[in-house]
Amino acid sequence: MSSMPISKTVQIDGYSLAYYEWGKQGDPVLICLHSHTNSATSWREFAEFASGKYHVFAIDQRGHGKSEWAKNGYARDRFVEDLSEFINLNNFGELTLVGCSMGGWHSILYAAGNPGRVQRIVMVDIAPEPSPERLQAPPLAPTPMEFLTLEDGCQWLRSGNPWATDIRLREDAESRLKKTYSGTWAWKADLNGFDNPLPDMTSTALIERYWSAIQSIECPILEIRGSESNLVSDETIKKMKRVGKSVLSVDVSNAGHVVMVDQPESFIKAIRTFINL
């Protein structure tokens, strides 16, 4: 198994934002945005593959991974402002955005607010609104705030993910957990700083904003769903194709919500034609 490149940091809005970089300058820019509570490491296999053609950046978004926790909150606009500042600081021109879950929301909000900057968007298992099935599901058990060992953390992740390999799931755990001074393992993500459940699931204002973004975006959008995830319904996909300018979709078998972690090779196969790899 290959490893992540050395993380780099940039100062944005008064705090340190960590990111990883693959490929070479001069190639088209592609930015990857991870899901809620995850980290940039979730993109490793895809980023390595895409770097044959793209200059790839995977960001640990505020309050996640190696990035600092934010003092001014985690509203969607703060994430989008971070992305915009990162793009501006690096003097990027046109680019491609690939976002999983909340990273997909940030991608479409940025594209809608910056017409002409984004050439393509890939949304991984996320849409403007959740499926009725997800909304009607019983509440999940509270996420443990710490584990006695890293292996305990792996086992907890496994309880909700039967698809990723043991090696990949451990890598996921190592990227999302940190050892505390007392010897236990706690989340790197600022779980106490987020609103749980996420307001995006039920907020009429946010849902309408996401639909408005889909409607206004001129560039092509690809929706990649995990076949074992129930978050994005068929009816929502149909609506996205109806109201969007150019929306395509593909499902990846034996994958849950974080498709590129559960089935890295199948994820690459699903995305490669759309982004011309």
State both tokens at 76.
Answer: 């969607």
User: Tokens 């990949």, residue?
Assistant: 168
Residues above pLDDT 70, as percent of the chain:
100
User: Which residues, given as ranges, of the chain have pLDDT below 70?
Assistant: 1
Closest CA to 105 of 80, 130, 74, 142: 80
Amino acid at 227: S
pLDDT in tens, 47-74: 999 999 999 999 999 999 999 999 999 9
Q: How far apart are CA 84 and CA 78, in angstroms?
A: 10
Q: Quickly name the fold that domain 8-131+203-271 has.
A: Rossmann fold (3.40.50)
Q: Which residues pair with 31 in a beta bridge?
A: 57, 97
What is the chain's length? 277
pLDDT in tens, 90-136: 999 999 999 999 999 999 999 999 999 999 999 999 999 999 999 99
Predicted TM-score of the model (pTM) = 0.97
For residue 191, the model assigns a pLDDT of 93
